[in-house]
Chain A
């Protein structure tokens, strides 16, 4: 039987199924649908979950709050200690008190619109339109996750002068290069948002110093770049990135892989990750937490002549360590992570 015939049957089976007494079905993820329709754009899984893997919490892992019944989880941070010091014999240590900082994770909900269709119009589609829509809705939800995540990242890397700059507009994500660029965050003793000039071996190497340069000395684990800027990596010569890698990228283009010891995540979301920009993140255990109370779920319902479905999830997360993120822009004049121009 052809794919078209199968999909038409799928539409009819959906109606039959939904008109049965079981009105609501939950789906964890959508499967690939037929190719017998014209695809108009490319969708991708979110990069947020690659950078901060998600864990689903059980209710008993939440932390009760006295002033609200909104779900919250308190996470402990690694404590710090004053420096050790030298003394002569017979001297006892001075006192210190143990204080472990904590931070809260708040949760909210991301949802799609509620999509509906008359059951007798649904049967006219030859493709399995509901399956296709499910797949798209899940991708759209992940896109919103990515936007929220990158909004926080941008907020953090532009905080070298928080008194004069507070990001309030999501569109600021696209303007980070101009916000407190090349200036040092006093708390971390390093810049977190610098311009590096044109991309070449030297500027790429300088880029990787971003996280280690702070006084917390973290190593970059994953770099985030868009599918346009990554082509500038591909054009780098054998001398600049090494023989085998240059040859492979010339033949096959860029695929997500490890370069200079860092995993590269490539996104097509150019409205979020702008051209000529690379974000770097430390390992998740240094960066933050990402929790789901309910991971992405699809609610489907039929009532009379209508079939409707919508997707939703309840997520919460935070970047708990401002030294775990930085942004590099391969534009303008080259600066180092100490905020000083590179001659």
Chain B
């Protein structure tokens, strides 16, 4: 009996529109935080906790504003937590690790994982929090108050699977202002 149910492969997607070297990308692999109750979806934004494990967004209850002594690097999930090469049915030997693209790398990403709204080119993006944890959202006018993980390139469009997707360049700029 299967114990794992992945989403349909076009429900949550991450596509590198440009910037990826097939054999030499700036990617990173780590296990998921076992206490994390919100699954990271493919294309979702995540970060590492102090144990080096993946948490969705910045983690449960963590604001996207300045964190003393920390600059939580944004990571874009290449696989969702419950995809079969990152997780597996009980009894299987495979899985346990997810791969992500690092936001400081030079990528243009197309993702389904963003907070719905109007996005214009050059708008900065940050980690969404609360019920939208795991998605990116507009960083606001005072972008230096929050952790910036991307800049909108072409805005939101409908892709070939009739899903709303957002195109953006990855950048990383930790919050600098105390808010």
Contacts and interface: CB of A to CB of B under 8 A. Distances in A.
A169 to B, nearest CB: 7
A228 to B, nearest CB: 26
Contacts of A101: 1
B92 A104 contact: yes
A152 B91 contact: yes
Contacts of A103: 1-2, 89, 91
Contacts of B106: none
Given A68-B9, A101-B1, A169-B34, A318 B91 contact: yes
B177 interface: no
A108 interface: yes
A318 B89 contact: yes
B95 A156 contact: no
A244 interface: no
Contact of A72 (B7, B84, B86, B93): B84
B83 interface: yes
Given A101-B1, A104-B2, A107-B85, A69 B9 contact: yes
A67 B7 contact: yes
A315 interface: yes
Interface in B1-60: 1-2, 5-9, 34
Given A68-B9, A103-B1, A168 B34 contact: yes
A152 B83 contact: no
Contacts of B95: 106, 108
Given A103-B1, A104-B2, A149 B84 contact: no
Interface in B82-103: 83-86, 88-97
A65 B5 CA distance: 11
A148 B85 CA distance: 14
Nearest to A152: B93
A52 to B, nearest CB: 9
Nearest to A320: B91
Contacts of B34: 166, 168-169
A339 interface: no
Given A70-B83, A106-B84, A106-B85, A288 B9 contact: no
Interface string A142-159: 000100110110011000
A70 B93 contact: no
A67 B94 contact: no
Given A67-B8, A103-B1, A318 B93 contact: yes
A317 interface: yes
Given A67-B8, A67-B9, A68-B83, A317 B93 contact: yes
B92 A105 contact: yes
Interface in A97-137: 101-109
A315 B1 contact: no
Nearest to A169: B34
Contact of A316 (B7, B8, B83, B92): B92
Contacts of A14: none
Nearest to B88: A106
A152 B84 contact: no
A108 B94 CA distance: 6
B9 A315 contact: no
Contacts of A317: 92-94
A17 B5 CA distance: 47
A319 interface: yes
A318 B89 CA distance: 9
Q: Top 9 closest A-B pairs, CB basis?
A: A168-B34, A108-B94, A106-B88, A70-B84, A106-B84, A318-B92, A318-B91, A148-B93, A108-B85
Interface of A: 65, 67-70, 72, 101-109, 145, 148-149, 151-152, 155-156, 166, 168-169, 288, 290, 315-320, 322
16 contacts: A67-B5, A67-B8, A68-B9, A104-B89, A107-B85, A108-B86, A108-B88, A108-B97, A109-B85, A148-B93, A156-B91, A169-B34, A315-B93, A317-B93, A318-B89, A320-B91
Given A67-B7, A145-B93, 7 more contacts: A67-B9, A68-B84, A70-B84, A103-B89, A107-B84, A155-B90, A318-B93
